[in-house]
Amino acid sequence: MTIKQCLKDNHNRLLKQWFQATINTYPAQSAKILGKDVDRFDNPVGAVTRETLEDILHLLASDYTADTLEKALDPVIRIRAVQAFSAAEAVSFIFALKDVGETIMDSAFAREFDRMVDQVVLAGFNRLMKCREDIFLLKATESKRRIHAAFERAGLVQELKEEDLLGSKKS
Amino acid sequence: MADELTPDELLDKIDYGAPSGDWMDTTKSVQIRPGMYCYAAKAESVETLGLPNARPWNPIEEDWKLPDNWQQILHEGIKERLERFRTFKIFMDVCVRCGACADKCHFFLGTGDPKNMPVLRAELLRSVYRNDFTTAGKILQKIPGGQRLAGARPLTIDVLKEMWYYFFQCTECRRCSVFCPYGIDTAEITIMARELFNLIGLNIDWIATPVSNCYQTGNHLGIQPHAFKDMLEFFVEDLEDITGVDCTPNFQKKGADILFITPSGDVFADPGTYTCQGYLILFKYLKDKYGLDVTWSTYASEGGNFGFFTSHETMKRLNAKMYAEAKRLGVKWILGGECGHMWRVIHQYMDTMNGPADFLEVPVNPITGTRFDNAASTKMVHITEFTADLIKHGKLELDKGRNANRIMTFHDSCNTSRGMGLLDEPRYVIKNVCDNFYEMPPNTIRENTFCCGSGSGLNAGENMELRMAGALPRATALKHVHEKYGVNTLGTICAIDRAALSTLCEYWVPEVEVAGIHELVGNALILPGEKERTEDLRMEPLPGCEEEE
Amino acid sequence: MTQKYLIPLAAVFLLFLVAYTGAGAGLGWFFGIVFPYLAVLAFLVGFVVKVTGWAASAVPFRIPTTCGQQKSLPWIKQNCIDNPDTSSGVILRMLLEIFTFRSLFRNTKAAFNRNASNRITYSWEIFLWVGALAFHYAFLVVILRHFRFFTAPVPSCIQFLEALDGIVQVGLPGLFLSGVVLPAAALFLLARRLFDAKVRYVSQAADFFPLFLILGIAATGISMRYFTKVDIVGIKEMTMGLVTFSPVIPDGIGGLFYGHLFLVSILFAYFPASKLMHLGGVFLSPTRNMANNTRAKRHVNPWNYDVPIHTYQDYEDHFRDKMIEAGLPVEKKE
């Protein structure tokens, strides 16, 4: 049996425990609500977290690259980047997968599995940085783009170099 | 930048830690966290209106520079408001803490912070009320541990800071009130709390400065009359390029039929500016075809009212301009543009505060003959009511094809849905100017609509994390229709939404644009004598004209 | 945290024991006559004071929470119940709120949805609505049934209600449905407070005390009816004495009854000072009991006062030159 097969076989148990560990990073009173499997529009954090973790497990069980991992992580990291988490806390949930794997996966795969999780963590840090950059850019440019852009079109302010501000986002 | 986090701050950013059983135990450890709070009101802005305790201060510093007797001021302030507002008194007394509201708040759902549950937000103030104003609280105070048993606590500086932090994490959207069996409205409690904060000078700058500008200059941004006119004239030039028709508006025209007031955001901030151009096209059309005379005013150039987020008195002081200007100009009635909280103020407060408007006539649409009996006393009509009526009577010539590239959904603004009930009028207009319309899921629209996360004066830049977290429930629903139906345009009838949702989309659903409803009307409306249009109001090629570029 | 429910629990036990032993020690006149009268008096006075206190506060603005389409153009269908513009609509809205807990029911909508993976989702929230309805209606039936102790002859409507309540015809004396539903619903509401993390977090001692009190009342009542078999004739003699203001203390009533009566008295006396006043508050809540017609009919604020405003004259004085230069009309051209 390969580690991929083992991941597939244990998909549901891994997902369930990893999801619980992730939701438990929230305060207990909130975790109760966020962990509920209800309509995704009534509980976006819970629903998006569950879906993302599921995607990651599927990816690990098939082919993945640093890029695909990062993309798959985006929804949950994007949420955690604006919540009351430190950078470490924001990605800590990925490390929880190691503990979960330890109890579920065949110990023969332990080392290989740890390495896989490490790759997920690195992808997570990358994505977190991007999301934080998005936030800071929004902070820096929101009013300029909305208000000064209109002024500029009207020729009321001309000295503002709007393109410079926007340019940094595209790169 | 002052609000960048240091590594130390990052490490000890909120540590929820082991949840203590009692929320009151965590009051002391509440940290006012960068990204979640708005900067303090500037002293000059507070002085403009002569509000108390104008001084420079900083929420994250230990000393808030409060007056020595701040506790007494607040105590008396609460007492006075209990007598003046039955809502406040009843909402302080009757909550049974059933928890029905807990997961209805977008800030709770987005941040996961349990103190953002509406019931708990209210309990922050209620605990002080129980301590100082109830019999049970006063009796229990006398026995050891009794205060805790009564769920009461004295108003200390830590309690004040905690309240300040969390009452500026509420957008007064009223969603919790829909689900409360007693109709307890957290918005009302937040309004009272902010009114109390203003007694000791604890406003935020994003509210205080627009209020000050609006009071003196006429609008939130402090745009002076000539600049206001310049801006509209610039739109007129653009419109002439696009349509070949001169849409020059009237300013302060005495004896016009209708005074038009819209939030200044429509004049000065994208993408509201396109909505503004839509208004100009509509008024030009009505003038040429039916002779209807609409005037703008630079004095009453702000429909929005950040006074509403300051105190009832400030709201009244800013709102007074609308009737005053209508009276001075001698118009028949007032037409209001697309805005959320502006309409809550007009619909539920204006006539009571600054009426009776007996110098105006009951609004009648002279083109269709429709009498707006629902506005018989306030004499102010919402522009989507007005436009829907025109469309229903076949008075507008519309080319839906010009919006064929728009796949629409509609975001109900909190104030117009839960403080007014304006739900089907904008939908009717959208469906008549655009063929592709898809609703977001039912538990996220109409009276269940989720806030944009930036309402009630919280659309500052420094609290971006808070805003984006609060926007998550709305974004999730939007993303769903984007993926399922290919929705690319989010329609809205609120100036704050137009700004805030644009930022929301940028972060959560970058493929979606935000547009006011009258931007679409402006695109579709066929002006008498117009040239063949090849561009929409954003100066992008119209559907079918892409090749000609 | 634990003290929030342990202290109320202990208090209810203690109160029961006080009455139980007190009555045995010859204080029956106090627990059977004096305290019930005082409690009812406290209830009536407290209730009236509280409600008139609320009523004394002004309603400066008409601010209903609108939960449906407003009345605007004649061809747009108004939601007359959730966004009423007439008093009949408001009355209907209030009746539905009071008798069916309509707002609480909104909570449950999600429970009937299917989630993304097309499973019917499961939610506790429907049980809050069911539990609350069961609790309140069972309580109402129990109270009405007790009127048999305060009326002679017992009115036929009370007898009919009793027959309906005992319709399952199990056991002897016959089992009352309300006697099962009330404690079950109360236990459910208690369990929610204890085990649902979010509700536990927001709960206060004042939320546990009435639940324990009601459970105590139910437990003593049930044990008197089904297990210890108290002297019904003696009790009715006493209760009739109370309502006819010629109180008597018959012999051989037993401490259990005094415990029951004392807990009921405590509930009455405690009622006006507690959250139980939601019974009165629900009628007065301005976000529910007002019509959404503020633009059509002027609402008057009794304390409306004049405020300083920035008039057009102030404005023009400030900007006159700029306005003239920009070609904006002005009142005074100098």
Output the pLDDT for position C121.
43
Contact flag A78-B507 (C-beta cutoff 8 Å):
yes
Q: Are residues C256 and C158 in the same domain?
A: yes
The verdict on a CB contact (< 8 Å) between A146 and B231 is no
Lowest mean pLDDT among A129-138, B127-136, B365-374, B538-547: B538-547
How many CB atoms are located within 10 Å of the residue B263 CB? 31
Residues of A in contact with C116 (CB under 8 A): 40, 47, 51
Tell me if C197 and A31 make a contact (CB, 8 A cut-off): yes
Mean predicted lDDT score pLDDT of chain B: 91
**For the residues C12-40, what does the mean pLDDT come to?**
90
Q: Mean pLDDT, to the nearest integer, of B238-242? A: 94
Q: Is C23 in contact with C250 (CB distance < 8 Å)?
A: no
The whole-number pLDDT of residue A38 equals 67
Q: Does residue C6 sit in the same domain as residue C123?
A: yes
pLDDT > 90 fraction of chain B, expressed in percent and rounded = 79
Q: Which has more confidence, B301 or A161?
A: B301
- Are residues C313 and C227 part of one domain? no
Neighbouring chains to C with at least 3 Cβ pairs closer than 8 Å: A, B
Tens of pLDDT along B318-345? 999 999 999 999 999 999 999 999 999 9
Nearest C-alpha in C relative to A42: C110
Q: How far apart are CA C4 and CA B149, in angstroms?
A: 7
- CA of B259 vs chain A CAs: smallest distance (Å): 24
Within 8 A of A29 by CB-CB distance, chain B residues are 19, 114, 117
Q: Smallest CA–CA separation between B270 and chain C, in Å?
A: 24
Contact flag B476-A44 (C-beta cutoff 8 Å): yes
| Inter-chain CB proximity A39 and B108 less than 8 Å | no
The owner of tokens 């065949």 is A106
Rounded Cα gap, residues B343 and B419, in angstroms: 8
Min Cα distance C211 → chain B (Å) is 12
Chain B residues touching A49 at Cβ < 8 A: none
Find the residue in B nearest to A86 (Cα). B10
Q: What is the pLDDT of residue B199?
A: 95
Residue contact A45–B506, C-beta within 8 A = no
At B497-524, the pLDDT tens digits run 999 999 999 999 999 999 999 999 999 9
Q: What is the pLDDT of residue B549?
A: 45
Nearest alpha-carbon partner for C214 in C280, C165, C267: C267
Work out the average pLDDT over B374-381: 95
Closest Cβ opposite residue B174 in set C61, C65, C128: C65
Confidence of residue C1 (pLDDT cuts 50, 70, 90): low
- Distance, in Å, from the CA atom of B248 to the CA atom of A36, rounded to the nearest integer, reads 56
CA of A120 vs chain B CAs: smallest distance (Å): 22
- Tell me, yes or no, whether C108 and C247 share the same domain: yes
Tokens in use for B395? 């008075």
Distance between A32 CA and the closest CA of chain C, angstroms: 6
Across the interface, whether the CB atoms of C110 and A51 are under 8 A apart is answered no
B261 SS3 class: strand
Render pLDDT for C272-300 as a digit per residue (tens, 0 to 9): 999 999 999 999 999 999 999 999 999 99
Contact present, C243 and C43 (Cβ < 8 Å): no
- Whether residues C236 and C252 share a domain: the answer is yes
> Which chain C residues are closer than 8 Å to A33 by Cβ?
198
Distances from the Cα of B108 to the Cα of A125, B471, C106, angstroms: 25, 11, 19
pLDDT in tens, B429-486: 999 999 999 999 988 999 999 999 999 999 988 999 999 999 999 999 999 999 999 9
Top-confidence range, A142-146, B146-150, B276-280: B276-280
B4: confidence class by pLDDT, cuts 50, 70, 90 = very low
More confident call, B28 vs C212 = C212
* pLDDT at position B210 over 70: yes
Q: What distance in Å separates residue C152's CA from the closest CA in chain B?
A: 37
Q: How high is the mean pLDDT of chain C? A: 88
For C28, phi and psi rounded to 5 degrees? -55, -40
- DSSP characters for B293-311? -EEE-STT-----GGGGT-
In order of B144, B299, B326, B387, the CA distances from B383 in angstroms are: 60, 20, 17, 6
B28: Cβ contacts below 8 Å, ≥ 6 apart: B158
Tell me how far apart the alpha carbons of residues B155 and B160 are, in angstroms, rounded to a whole number.
7
pLDDT band at B102 (very low <50, low <70, confident <90, very high): confident
CA distance A94 to chain B (A): 18
Q: Nearest CB to C205: which of B135, B151, B346?
A: B151
Kindly state whether C318 is in contact with chain B, defined as any CB-CB distance less than 8 angstroms. yes
**pLDDT for the residue numbered A154:** 65
DSSP, res B186 = H
Name which of A21-25, B15-19, B245-249, C258-262 the model is least confident about.
B15-19
Residues 6 or more apart whose CB falls under 8 angstroms from that of B127 comprise B24, B151, B152, B153, B159
- Residue from the list C110, C111, C196 with its beta carbon closest to the beta carbon of A32: C196
| Nearest CB partner across the interface for A34, out of B112, B230, B499 | B112
Do both C115 and C86 map to the same domain? Answer: yes
CATH number at residue C160: 1.20.950.20
Phi, psi of B340 (to 5 degrees): -85, -75
Distance CA B390, CA B369 (A): 10
How far is C162 from C148, CA to CA, in rounded Å? 9
Is residue A140 less than 8 Å (CB to CB) from chain B? yes
Determine, for residues C197 and A40 on separate chains, whether the beta-carbon distance falls below 8 Å.
no
| C273 and C215 in a common domain | yes
| Residue-wise burial string across C58-95, b where 16 or more C-beta atoms lie within 10 A, e elsewhere | bbbbbbbbbbbbbbbbeebebbbbbbbbeeebbeebbe
Query: What are the Cα distances from residue C61, in Å, to A129, B179, B296, C172, C263?
Result: 48, 21, 29, 57, 41
Tell if the CB–CB gap between A34 and B468 is shorter than 8 Å. no
What confidence tens digit (pLDDT) does each residue in C106-153 have?
876 544 444 444 444 445 567 888 899 999 999 999 999 999 899 888
pLDDT tens digits along B37-94:
999 999 999 998 899 999 999 999 999 999 999 999 999 999 999 999 999 999 999 9
The CA distance from B279 to B250, in Å, is 13
Q: What is the CA radius of gyration of chain C?
A: 28
Same domain? C315 vs C280: no
Q: Which residues of B touch C311 (CB under 8 A)?
A: 324
pLDDT, tens digit, 9 for 90 and up, residues C159-204: 999 888 888 777 777 788 999 999 999 999 999 899 888 888 889 9
pLDDT in tens, A58-72: 999 988 999 999 999
The pLDDT value recorded for residue B30 is 83
C82 shares contact with chain B (CB less than 8 Å): yes
| C110 and A CB contact within 8 Å | yes
| Closest residue to B377, CB basis, from C285, C295, C310 | C295
Which pLDDT score is estimated for A161? 54
Distance of CA C274 to the CA centre of its chain: 10
pLDDT, one tens digit per residue, over B397-434 is 999 999 999 999 999 999 999 999 999 999 999 999 99
Name which of A24, A25, A26, A29 to mutate to probe chain B: the one with the most chain B Cβ atoms within 10 A of its Cβ. Answer: A29
- Residue B16: is its pLDDT beyond 80? no
Q: Which residues of B touch A145 (CB under 8 A)?
A: 270
Residue C67 sits at the chain B interface (C-beta within 8 Å): yes
Q: Predicted confidence band at A35 (pLDDT cuts at 50, 70, 90)?
A: confident
Cβ–Cβ below 8 Å for B179 and C58: no
- Give me the number of domains chain C comprises: 2
For residues C92 and C80, the answer to whether their CB atoms sit within 8 Å is: yes
Each residue's pLDDT tens digit, C215-250: 999 999 999 988 887 888 889 999 999 999 988 888
The percentage of chain C sitting over the pLDDT mark of 70, rounded to a whole number, equals 94
Is C136 touching B (CB cutoff 8 A)?
no
Contact C198 A30 (CB under 8 A): yes
Interface test with B, best of A45, A93, A145 (most B CBs within 10 A): A45
**Contacting partners of chain A (3+ CB pairs under 8 A):** B, C
Prediction pTM value: 0.90
- Cβ separation of A40 and C115 shorter than 8 Å? yes
> Residue C122's pLDDT is what?
44
Give CA–CA dist C197/C206, Å, rounded.
17
Q: Are residues C174 and C318 in the same domain?
A: no
Q: How far apart are the first and last CA of chain A?
A: 44
Chain C CB contacts of B392 under 8 Å are 73, 75
Mean pLDDT of all residues in A133-146: 82
C321 and C258 fall within a common domain = no
pLDDT score at C125: 66
Print the domain residue range for C140.
2-297
* Interface size, chain B vs chain C, as Cβ–Cβ contacts under 8 Å: 296
Cβ within 8 Å of B, A 21-40: 26-30, 33-34, 39-40
What is the chain A residue with the closest CA to B237?
A: A154
CB-CB under 8 Å, C121 with A38 = yes
Cα–Cα distance measured from residue B218 to residue B296, given in angstroms and rounded to the nearest whole number:
12
The reply to whether residue C308 touches residue B418, judged by beta carbons under 8 angstroms, is no
Show the 3-state SS of chain C. Answer: CHHHHHHHHHHHHHHHHHHHHHHHHHHHHHHHHHHHHHHHHHHHHHHHHHHHHHHHCCCCCCCCCCCCCCCCCCCCCCCCCCCCCCHHHHHHHHHHHHHHCHHHHHHHHHHHCECCCCCECCCCHHHHHHHHHHHHHHHHHHHHHHHHHCCCCCCHHHHHHHHHHCCCCCCCCCCCHHHHHHHHHHHHHHHHHHHCHHHHHHCCHHHHHHHHHHHHHHHHHHHHHHHHCCCHHHHHHHHHHHHCCCCCCCCCCCHHHHHHHHHHHHHHHHHHHCHHHHHHHHHHCCCCCCCCCCCCCCCCCCCCCCCCCCCHHHHHHHHHHHHHHCCCCCCCCC
Confidence grade of residue A158 (pLDDT, cut at 50, 70, 90): low
* Cα–Cα distance, C49 to A24 (Å, whole number): 47
Cβ of C329 and B96 within 8 Å? no
Instruction: Test B507 with A156 for CB contact under 8 angstroms.
Output: no
- Does residue A3 surpass a pLDDT of 80? yes
C274 and C332 co-located in one domain: no
Distance CA C101, CA C90 (A): 15
Residues 6+ apart with CB under 8 A from C175: C166, C168, C169
Q: Which one of C115, C196, C201 has the shortest CB-CB distance to A39?
A: C115
Same domain, C284 and C181: yes
